[in-house]
Amino acid sequence: MTVLIGQSFTGISIGAVLLLIALGLSLTFGQMGVINMAHGEFIMSGAYTTYVLQQHLTDAGTSLLLALPAAFAVAGTLGIVLERTLIRRLYTRPLDTLLVTWGVSLLLQQLARDIFGAPNVQTSTPGWLTGRITLFGGEHPVTLSHARLFILTLAVAAVVALTLTLRLTPLGRRIRAVVQHRELAEASGIATARVDRTTFFIGSGLAGVAGVALTLVGPIGPTMGTNIIIDAFLVVVVGGIGRLRGAVVAAFALGVLQALVEYSTTVSLAKVTVLIAIVAFLQWRPQGISTVRTRSLA
Amino acid sequence: MTRSRLLPLAGFALTAVALFAVAPAVLSDFRLSLLARYLCFAIVAVGIALAWGRGGMLTLGQGLFFGLGGYAMAMHLKLADAGPDGLPDFMLLYGTGGELPWWWEPFRSPVFALAAVLVLPMTLAALIGFLVFRRRVRGAYFAILSQALAAAFALLLIGQQATTGGTNGLTNFQGFFGFALADPLNKRMVYFVIAAALLAVLLITRQLFHSRYGELLVAVRDSEERVRFLGYDPALVKLAAYTVSAGMAGLAGALFVPAVGIISPALIGIVPSIQFVIGAAIGGRASLAGAALGAIAVAWAQTTLSEEFPAAWTYFQAGLFIAVIAFLPGGLASLRHHLTRRRTRATRPRPPTGTPAAEGAPA
């Protein structure tokens, strides 16, 4: 029993990482129907921002905290540049956007390789994140490392901040209007192009924050984006577009499923099982867990 | 015979001459084996032209089917090398307890292995397609799912090192249905087999493109709902194209094994799967010649340029890819179309503005 609980906690911490990397994606995909394959490289930019800050500041704690806003700005700026130069031109061709942004991700990977070198780099974890807390003692103790707890907190904070922004601010109201009905929003006087740009900034910025979090659990390298982007997309596919709630549920569900299957088999088998579960789930709900209801046929 | 029918026929004959007469005469054995490898990619690209160019299904996971075909062939070659009752060399190394896993056993039979090369990928594609298209999962959702499948397959192979060779894959083949692969003459034979396969695949796909089915496929791509309202089942139409393209990828994978001498997870994961699409996209997604030539050109450039200038090549490839997709979605094959259209627009006098209906209207 405690083993199951332990694996569930592992699953929740996997889910927190998934949620962080998928949150921005869900936002941009939901609003613009645009799949941004360079999202993984935006995450990478956040991770490298943390690395650079730590090189200059040396103190791991302050540099990590400073990296959060810095990475948000760096990745967000990259996002705006991408939106202005390429994605804006391709709104009517979503599949081509997917391919173009994949080309961009290739460029960014090579750029990272040229600047920071091909081998992975490491950041040091600040002292206050190195310990573990014990949830249950006994024969199979259930522990949670501080770093994982930090990521969980960060994920929850990001969701809360985003929800509040969407619910309470004028910007959030405009974003929701565009998600629900683009033409009508435009007809009501909302500058949809400007809203798109802002959404893209926020979505990409969240990728940067996710990158900061990832430095705590793994190495930083030019190809780190490729490995996580698919998981992030699966969260979005299962969660459904246009609503944060779906992404949250999907991230934790996939995380826990992954952890539970992983415990009884292997990591690779767990990945395959999760994927089969996703295809089966889409039989039941092709639009994902929650979605904005429209009357369109698509 | 009209010009529109003569032109592709001439192109086809030209390709046949180039592949069967010119290339073997001009190229060294080494270059020819490289060309054989590119031709395998071209076969995959033709399948992508069918599924994506004509059917609108952006399949980012052709590596899955390429891998299934490749591993089916490689398993048979390994077992044939080991002789009756023998174990493939890598299994002795990792130790499976001297037992051949049950799912390896049927691949001893050459007939089974050859059938599996096509049947395995096509069955899997039909199953996936049935589940996915029937529920109207499409567009980006389908692209991501197909990519995830390829990634999961590669992971699965890596995880089962004792029975699949893991990251190293299956390699070091001695014979190919009784012919020693070390013999350059037999290498040439493999090249000819691949060239013939490419020509056959091109012929079949051209027939498909110009059949009523091909028209229906394009209609589904352009307006799925309208086709549904006309009484067709778009899911079945897409399913057929996806299955055939999977079969082509499987065939290419199987031929890749004797030509290159290895199949491994690194050749079928996410990145190679997208590489397949890049060639087709740059050449021209909806054009047979464009997709095939694009795949060959990109693969050639990859081997020649990436060795000398790895960084510059990545920038160039990514830049070209972005530029083509963003500004020339039909690929380089559509350049001719763009140019001729511009010319005719410039020379031909503008049509009279008054339409017959307007003229015939009562004054």
Q: Do A237 and B144 touch (CB under 8 A)?
A: yes
Is B128 in the A-facing interface, judged by CB distances under 8 Å? yes
Q: pLDDT under 50 in chain B at which residues?
A: 1, 348-363
Q: Do A271 and B155 touch (CB under 8 A)?
A: yes
Amino acid at position B218, single letter: V
Distance from C-alpha of B194 to C-alpha of B106, rounded to nearest angstrom: 25
| Average pLDDT, integer, range A249-276 | 85
Q: Do B270 and A226 touch (CB under 8 A)?
A: yes
- Chain B residues within 8 A of A102 when measuring between CB atoms: 274, 321
Please report the pLDDT score of residue B356 as a whole number: 37
| Average pLDDT, integer, range A253-279 | 84
**Does residue A267 have a pLDDT over 80?**
no
Please report the pLDDT score of residue B358 as a whole number: 35
Pairing of strands A132-136, B262-263: unpaired
In chain A, which residues touch B (CB < 8 A)? Answer: 29, 33, 35, 86, 89-90, 93-96, 98-100, 102-104, 106-107, 109-110, 113-114, 226, 230, 233-234, 237, 266-269, 271-272, 275, 278-279, 282-283, 286, 297-298
Q: Do B325 and A279 touch (CB under 8 A)?
A: no
Nearest CA in chain A to B311: A110
pLDDT tens for residues A10-26? 888 889 989 998 998 88
**Does residue A52 have a pLDDT over 70?**
yes
Query: What is the percentage of chain A residues whose pLDDT exceeds 90?
Result: 33
| Average pLDDT, integer, range A207-215 | 92
Is B184 in the A-facing interface, judged by CB distances under 8 Å? no
pLDDT tens for residues B339-351? 776 665 555 444 4
With contact defined as beta carbons under 8 Å apart, do A182 and A23 qualify? Answer: no
Q: Do A271 and B315 touch (CB under 8 A)?
A: no
Higher-confidence residue of A74 and A285: namely: A74
Q: Do A230 and B270 touch (CB under 8 A)?
A: yes
Q: If you average pLDDT over every residue of chain A, what do you get?
A: 86
| Average pLDDT, integer, range A99-123 | 90
Residue with tokens 């806003």: A69
Question: Maximum distance among all alpha carbons in chain A?
Answer: 64
Residue window 244-273, chain B: list those with CB within 8 Å of chain A: 270-271
With contact defined as beta carbons under 8 Å apart, do B117 and B72 qualify? Answer: yes
| Average pLDDT, integer, range A198-216 | 92
Is B167 in the A-facing interface, judged by CB distances under 8 Å? no
Interface test with A, best of B54, B282, B322 (most A CBs within 10 A): B322
Please give, one letter per residue, the 3-state secondary structure of chain B.
CCHHHHHHHHHHHHHHHHHHHHHHHHCCHHHHHHHHHHHHHHHHHHHHHHHHHHCCCCCCCHHHHHHHHHHHHHHHHHHHHHCCCCCCHHHHHHCCCCCCCCCCHHHHCHHHHHHHHHHHHHHHHHHHHHHHHHCCCCCHHHHHHHHHHHHHHHHHHHHCHHHHCHHHCEECCCEECCEECCCHHHHHHHHHHHHHHHHHHHHHHHHHHCCHHHHHHHHHHHCHHHHHHCCCCHHHHHHHHHHHHHHHHHHHHHHHHHHHCEECHHHCCHHHHHHHHHHHHHHCCCCHHHHHHHHHHHHHHHHHHHHHCHHHHHHHHHHHHHHHHHHCCCCCHHHHHHHHHHHHHHHCCCCCCCCHHHHHCCC
pLDDT tens for residues B223-279? 888 999 999 999 999 999 999 999 999 999 999 999 999 999 999 988 899 889 988
* Residue B309: count of CB within 10 angstroms of its CB: 12
Higher-confidence residue of A268 and B47: namely: B47
- Chain B residues within 8 A of A107 when measuring between CB atoms: 314-315, 318-319, 322
Please report the pLDDT score of residue B361 as a whole number: 36
Please report the pLDDT score of residue B203 as a whole number: 92
Query: What is the percentage of chain A residues whose pLDDT exceeds 70?
Result: 94
Q: Do B148 and A230 touch (CB under 8 A)?
A: yes
**Spatial CA neighbour of B90 closest among B167, B156, B153:** B167
**Spatial CA neighbour of A129 closest among A69, A64, A218, A53:** A64
Q: Do B132 and A29 touch (CB under 8 A)?
A: no
- What's the Rg (C-alpha) of chain B? 23
Distance from C-alpha of B52 to C-alpha of B54, rounded to nearest angstrom: 6
> What is the domain partition of chain B in residue ranges?
13-265
Please report the pLDDT score of residue B4 as a whole number: 65
ipTM (interface pTM): 0.82
Question: pTM higher than 0.95 for the full model?
Answer: no
Domain A2-117+147-284, classified CATH 1.10.3470, yes or no? yes
